[in-house]
Amino acid sequence: MERLRHWLCMLLLLSCTKAEKKMVSDDNLHWLQSEARRQLLGCRIEATDGTTLFTPDGEGHYAALWTRDLAYMVENGFDLFTLMEIKKAILYLLAGQRSDGCIPDRRQADGLAVYSAGPANHPLGDPPTDNSQFMVKLMADYVDRSGDMDFFIAHSAALIRAMDYTPRSSRGLVHIDPLHPHSPYGFTDTIQKTGELLFSSLLYWEASQRLATLFDKCRNPENAQTFRSRARLIEQHADALWDEASGMFFAASQDCRQIDIWGNAYAVYIAFPLGDKKTRIVRYLADHFDRYVYSGQIRHLPEPEVWEKTLIPVKAGAYQNGAYWGTASGWVAVALAEQHPQLSQRIFEEMIEDYRTHGPHECCNRGYRQLNNYVVSVLNPLGALRRGR
């Protein structure tokens, strides 16, 4: 009921009438839509088997098919693909699944499946804790839009194995052993978060809900109940990461027990059942806006914080250790929209102005920009705008 109420409120608030202030001008919306098409054309490469791969950027830097990036692209720009392109890309990734259930972090054009973050010959420990969830979300988005339940049924066992592979604590939250640190959520894959994890657990909740719905549709109540129970367990124990003093969730329970701007905004965005905590999260995001927003893009942590531990050296203020990303701009804008529509509009307008001037980079900061033509910097905010209009 809370989830339904959330989306009804968002639809009422974000629907644009002549008397209301739009989230973004028509000109900027049209530009963002056109830019999304341009980015998806520019990021294509062909695998040796002929499969079209959609790389994270149009510069050839990340020259492989990344599971999480493809999932974000499909979620937020489904109509910009053909059904066959999505289906073949899913099959390409699933063909790289390991026997223990691990989904590849990425698969190269030559067919090599790479499971951990970092260079293939110098991995950052065990695989990240998010690829199983993104694989489920990718499959669910494809099936929901195509109606191809036979495709889901044919690969449902592989998805179960993937979800079972993801490390979880006894409380059902995704977990990394502090004695064996490795990459968590992939957009912080250089950061040494350990213990129970916020963002990966939210993704696990989301993926479990999606799997339960799909198993309901194919009349498999036992599997549906299994994943519904896993989602409920996360709901029951998410408080383990709650910081009463700030009114926000921590990123992790042990190393990097710090306020997670992205994770809190995402919890609101996906209508995770927060109860009264939602009001406190939104209040924090509004009150501390200028500590984590720059040119409409979003820092992982409020300034001047940097992460307590990293897996490799990352300069303060750069990349995942203090730069600002368009990947999360739409989540924050939607989280703020109900109570602070002027801040939501400011995020979108300033972000698009920055993109039109400098290009959509992977991340940026004052005097710093990394990797132009980064696809989800455009696709994720566009998806949030489409959801709200």
DSSP-derived 3-state class of residue 326? helix
CB atoms within 10 A of CB 246: 15
Is residue 116 in some structural domain? yes
Q: What is the pLDDT of residue 10?
A: 53
| Peptide bond connecting 119 to the previous residue in cis, omega within 30 degrees of 0 | no
Is residue 50 in some structural domain? no
Q: Would you place residue 314 in the very low, low, confident or very high pLDDT band (cuts 50, 70, 90)?
A: very high
Q: What is the pLDDT of residue 311?
A: 98
The Cα diameter of the chain in Å comes to: 57
Q: What is the pLDDT of residue 3?
A: 55
Is the domain of 188 the same as that of 118?
A: yes
Handedness of CA 237, 243, 247, 250 (dihedral sign): negative
Question: How far is residue 364 CA from its own chain's centroid?
Answer: 18
CA distance 362 to 309: 22
Q: Would you place residue 7 in the very low, low, confident or very high pLDDT band (cuts 50, 70, 90)?
A: low
Is residue 47 in some structural domain? no
Is residue 48 in some structural domain? no
CA distance 201 to 207: 10
Residue predicted with more confidence, 189 or 19? 189
The CATH number of whichever domain residue 164 belongs to comes to 1.50.10.10
Q: What is the pLDDT of residue 22?
A: 75
Is residue 301 in some structural domain? yes
CB atoms within 10 A of CB 222: 7
Q: Would you place residue 14 in the very low, low, confident or very high pLDDT band (cuts 50, 70, 90)?
A: very low
Whether the predicted pLDDT of 297 surpasses 90: yes
Whether the predicted pLDDT of 17 surpasses 90: no
Domain holding 318, by residue range, is 1-42+260-389
Which of these, 38, 29, 28, 24, lies nearest to 374 by C-alpha position?
38
Is the domain of 17 the same as that of 90?
A: no
Question: How far is residue 116 CA from its own chain's centroid?
Answer: 18
Q: What is the pLDDT of residue 23?
A: 81
Whether the predicted pLDDT of 12 surpasses 50: no
pLDDT tens digits, 250-265: 999 999 999 999 999 9
CB atoms within 10 A of CB 321: 20
Is the domain of 273 the same as that of 387?
A: yes
The structure's pTM equals 0.94
DSSP-derived 3-state class of residue 176? strand
CA distance 388 to 26: 14
CA distance 20 to 35: 26
* Residue type present at position 307: W
pLDDT tens digits, 263-283: 999 999 999 999 999 999 999
Q: Which residue has the tokens 């455009």?
A: 378
Is the domain of 333 the same as that of 289?
A: yes
User: Rounded mean pLDDT of the chain?
Assistant: 94
Whether the predicted pLDDT of 20 surpasses 80: no
The token pair that represents 51 in the structure block: 């499969």
Mean pLDDT value of segment 321-346: 97
Q: What is the pLDDT of residue 61?
A: 94
Whether the predicted pLDDT of 16 surpasses 70: no
pLDDT tens digits, 25-59: 999 999 999 999 999 999 999 999 999 999 999 99
Is residue 152 in some structural domain? yes
Whether the predicted pLDDT of 389 surpasses 80: no
Mean pLDDT value of segment 324-337: 98
Is the domain of 210 the same as that of 272?
A: no
pLDDT tens digits, 172-201: 999 999 999 999 999 999 999 999 999 999
Is the domain of 114 the same as that of 238?
A: yes
Domain count, the chain: 2
Query: Which among 207, 240, 257 is the end of a domain?
Result: 257
CB atoms within 10 A of CB 152: 20
